[in-house]
């Protein structure tokens, strides 16, 4: 029946409407989180820039290049991967992009006959790799949303010692780089052995006054500073990933809100048409019924109105009506 | 000309002031003070107190738990994973940590973790002015 269809549509519109409210709220929350995550990334930048410039100074000054974190491990046959994903879903292709990229890289390494070691940040990545029977050496949950330096330190600890002791040939870091609010890019970066590069952003731009003085010694400082550098690199990757996650979620939720809006318009249109249809059908039924009655009796005097004479409406004429023969 | 001093932790810049003098302790165990025009210098910091004499205002104290200090063209940068300004130190907690670490060291003098904890607690207490 037409009325039933209308009721079903009304219910669907209501549910789409409340879904839209939720996605809109999530979009707004993510928008503020992106800004916060960006602020955190910006606040963390001076430290990593400064530490990079100090290391550059040290390396330029000829500090030992065979530090365990800088040298290759030719005997090792294990490639480690740190994959940074999110803890929660509803963020579009954010997780699958970075996971796919890491998995491809990992398979390529396997084809070279190397073993792998997986370190996963975020429950989404953990679920993916666990489901596919990968061996996960360490996983960190509850980190991805708002990473702290302490989290970065724990992640760094999971690989540093094994690399220093020479059991890992390389460590790659797979995360999503935050370029701007519209563009985030999943990347796999060689992480260890460290390659200290001057990316132009480091340092004050001024050359040191004469020769640098070191205390205790360039090597001693390098020993202290490289582990910090590893942590700081992981920290900035985590911060980037967290900003990307929120940006991806914001975009996904915006798309969902738009879709809900579109669906609502479409459903409303269908519902109005259904309502109109049912009204038209009803009118048609009434008119059709009236026509049918008319055809049955034939003659305009069949219509009810024409039988209503003033006498019908006034009770005092009732007796008179009884004694008078009717029109037919 | 005063020096520009920045105390930087991995998460943010804790402090940025113009200062006349900065005093810190390096890993080799000696104090070192910097004045305007100091030669370029990089040093690894001990878990200790950093003393900054700003151009105006009272001396600033901060507890640093390891880290680095670099001086270049009168720019002093102090990088530390863990740094606290004097007013951020929780004295009661630091005192409790010191007592606990001392007790642990009493039981096992070789306990590295307890030794480090004691050093951290002492740096905090020194910064807060409880220890001198």
Distance from CA of B23 to the nearest CA of A (A): 14
Q: What is the pLDDT of residues B45-103, one digit of tens each?
A: 988 889 999 998 888 889 998 888 999 888 999 999 888 888 888 888 888 888 888 88
* Mean pLDDT of the region A103-107: 93
pLDDT of A204 reads 44
Q: Is the pLDDT of residue A143 over 80?
A: yes
Q: What is the pLDDT of residues A287-315, one digit of tens each?
A: 998 888 877 665 555 556 655 666 666 66
Q: What is the pLDDT of residues B2-44, one digit of tens each?
A: 899 999 988 888 989 999 999 999 888 789 999 998 888 888 9
**Nearest-by-Cβ selection for A212 from B40, B66, B73:** B40
pLDDT of A74 reads 80
Residues on chain A touching B24 (C-beta within 8 angstroms): none
Between A323 and B61, the higher pLDDT residue? B61
User: Cα–Cα distances in Å, from A113 out to A116, A162, A171?
Assistant: 10, 20, 16
Contacts of A135 (CB under 8 A, 6+ apart): A116, A117, A118
Q: Is the pLDDT of residue A206 over 80?
A: no
Asked if residue A237 is part of any domain, the answer here is yes
* Mean pLDDT of the region A237-247: 94
List the single range of A37-51, A278-292, B107-121 with lowest mean pLDDT.
B107-121
**Interchain CB contact of A213 with B (< 8 Å):** yes
Q: Is the pLDDT of residue A246 over 50?
A: yes
- Tokens describing residue B89: 């130190």
Asked if residue A271 is part of any domain, the answer here is no
- Tokens describing residue A47: 């430290």
**Interchain CB contact of A231 with B (< 8 Å):** yes
Q: Is the pLDDT of residue A268 over 50?
A: yes
Q: Is the pLDDT of residue A205 over 50?
A: no
The CATH number linked to A152 is: 3.40.1380.10
**Nearest-by-Cβ selection for A51 from B39, B43, B79:** B79
Asked if residue A25 is part of any domain, the answer here is yes
Cα–Cα dist A226/A187, whole Å: 23
Contacts of A220 (CB under 8 A, 6+ apart): A214, B27, B44
DSSP per-residue codes, B53-108: EESSSSPEEEEE-S-EEEEETTEEEEE-SSEEEGGG--HHHHHHHHHHHHHHHHH-
Tokens 């050093």, residue?
Answer: B119
pLDDT of A201 reads 42
Cα–Cα dist A24/A6, whole Å: 27
CA B16 vs. chain centroid, Å, equals 15
Q: Are A319 and A311 in contact (CB under 8 A)?
A: no
Cα–Cα dist A253/A248, whole Å: 9
**Nearest-by-Cβ selection for B8 from A47, A148, A224:** A47
**Three-class secondary structure of residue B41 per DSSP:** strand
**A-B Cβ pairs (cutoff 8 Å, strict):** 92
Q: Is the pLDDT of residue A283 over 60?
A: yes
Cα–Cα dist A74/A244, whole Å: 35
In this prediction, residue A120 has a pLDDT band, given cuts at 50, 70 and 90, of very high
Q: Is the pLDDT of residue A177 over 60?
A: yes
- Tokens describing residue A310: 């003033």
Contacts of A75 (CB under 8 A, 6+ apart): A166
**Three-class secondary structure of residue A169 per DSSP:** coil
Cα–Cα dist A289/A7, whole Å: 27
A224: nearest CA in chain B?
A: B44
A129: containing domain: 19-251
Q: Are B101 and B107 in contact (CB under 8 A)?
A: no
* Pairing outcome for strands B48-54 and B75-79: unpaired
In this prediction, residue A130 has a pLDDT band, given cuts at 50, 70 and 90, of very high
Asked if residue A124 is part of any domain, the answer here is yes
**Interchain CB contact of B59 with A (< 8 Å):** no
Q: Is the pLDDT of residue A323 over 80?
A: no
Asked if residue A180 is part of any domain, the answer here is yes
- Tell me what the pLDDT averaged over chain A comes to: 84
Between A219 and A199, the higher pLDDT residue? A219
Quote ipTM for the complex.
0.82
Is A225 in contact with B26 (Cβ distance < 8 A)? no
pLDDT of A251 reads 94
Q: Is the pLDDT of residue A36 over 90?
A: yes
- 3-state SS of A156-199 is HHHHHHHHHCCCCCEEEEEEEEECCCCCEEEEEEEEECCCCCCC
In this prediction, residue A325 has a pLDDT band, given cuts at 50, 70 and 90, of low
pLDDT of A300 reads 55
Q: Is the pLDDT of residue A12 over 90?
A: yes
Asked if residue A322 is part of any domain, the answer here is no
| Percent share of chain A, pLDDT over 90 | 52
Distance from CA of A258 to the nearest CA of B (A): 36
pLDDT of A202 reads 41
Distance from CA of A176 to the nearest CA of B (A): 20
DSSP assigned state of A324? S
Cα–Cα dist A228/B50, whole Å: 20
pLDDT of A208 reads 47
* Pairing outcome for strands A115-121 and A78-84: parallel
Number of domains in chain A: 1
Q: Is the pLDDT of residue A87 over 60?
A: yes
Asked if residue A269 is part of any domain, the answer here is no
Residue A318 class from Cβ within 10 Å (0-12 exposed, 13-18 middle, 19+ buried)?
exposed
Asked if residue A97 is part of any domain, the answer here is yes
Q: Are A203 and A56 in contact (CB under 8 A)?
A: yes
Is A212 in contact with B6 (Cβ distance < 8 A)? no
């Amino acid at each position: 029946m037409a009325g039933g269809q209308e009721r079903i549509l009304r219910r669907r519109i209501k549910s789409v409407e409340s879904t839209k409210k939720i996605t809109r709220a999530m979009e707004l929350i993510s928008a503020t989180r992106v800004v916060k995550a960006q602020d955190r990334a910006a606040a963390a930048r001076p430290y990593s820039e400064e530490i990079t410039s100090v290391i550059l100074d040290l390396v330029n000054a000829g500090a030992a290049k065979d530090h365990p974190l800088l040298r290759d491990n030719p005997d090792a046959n294990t490639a480690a991967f740190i994959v940074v994903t999110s803890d929660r879903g509803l963020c579009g292709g954010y997780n699958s992009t970075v996971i796919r990229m890491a998995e491809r890289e990992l398979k390529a390494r396997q084809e070279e006959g190397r073993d792998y070691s997986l370190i996963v940040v975020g429950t989404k990545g953990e679920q993916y790799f666990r489901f596919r029977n990968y061996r996960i050496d360490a996983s960190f949950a509850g980190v991805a949303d708002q990473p702290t330096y302490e989290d970065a330190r724990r992640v760094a600890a999971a690989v540093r010692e094994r690399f220093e002791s020479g059991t890992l040939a390389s460590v790659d870091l797979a995360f999503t780089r935050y370029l701007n609010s519209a563009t985030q890019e999943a990347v796999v970066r060689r992480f260890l052995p460290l390659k200290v590069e001057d990316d132009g952003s480091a340092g004050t731009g001024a050359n040191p006054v004469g020769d640098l003085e070191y205390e205790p010694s360039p090597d001693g400082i390098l020993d202290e500073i490289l582990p910090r550098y590893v942590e700081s690199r992981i920290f900035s990757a985590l911060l980037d990933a967290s900003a990307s996650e929120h940006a991806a979620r914001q975009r996904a939720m915006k798309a969902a809100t738009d879709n809900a809006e579109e669906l609502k318009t479409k459903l409303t249109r269908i519902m109005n048409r259904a309502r109109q249809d049912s009204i038209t059908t009803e009118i048609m039924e009434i008119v059709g019924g009236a026509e049918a009655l008319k055809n049955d009796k034939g003659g305009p005097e069949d219509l009810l109105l024409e039988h209503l004479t003033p006498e019908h409406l006034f009770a005092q004429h009732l007796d008179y009506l009884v004694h008078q023969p009717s029109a037919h | 000309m005063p020096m520009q001093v920045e105390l930087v932790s991995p998460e943010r810049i804790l402090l940025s002031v113009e200062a006349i003098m900065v005093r810190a302790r390096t890993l080799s165990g000696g104090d070192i003070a910097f004045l305007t025009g100091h030669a370029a210098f990089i040093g690894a910091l001990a878990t200790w107190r950093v003393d900054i004499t700003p151009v105006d205002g009272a001396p600033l104290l901060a507890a640093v738990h390891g880290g680095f200090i670099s001086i270049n063209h009168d720019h002093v940068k102090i990088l530390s994973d863990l740094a606290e300004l004097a007013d951020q130190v929780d004295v009661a907690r630091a005192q409790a940590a010191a007592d606990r670490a001392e007790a642990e060291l009493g039981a096992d003098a070789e306990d590295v973790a307890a030794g480090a904890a004691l050093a951290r607690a002492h740096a905090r207490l020194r910064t807060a002015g409880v220890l001198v």
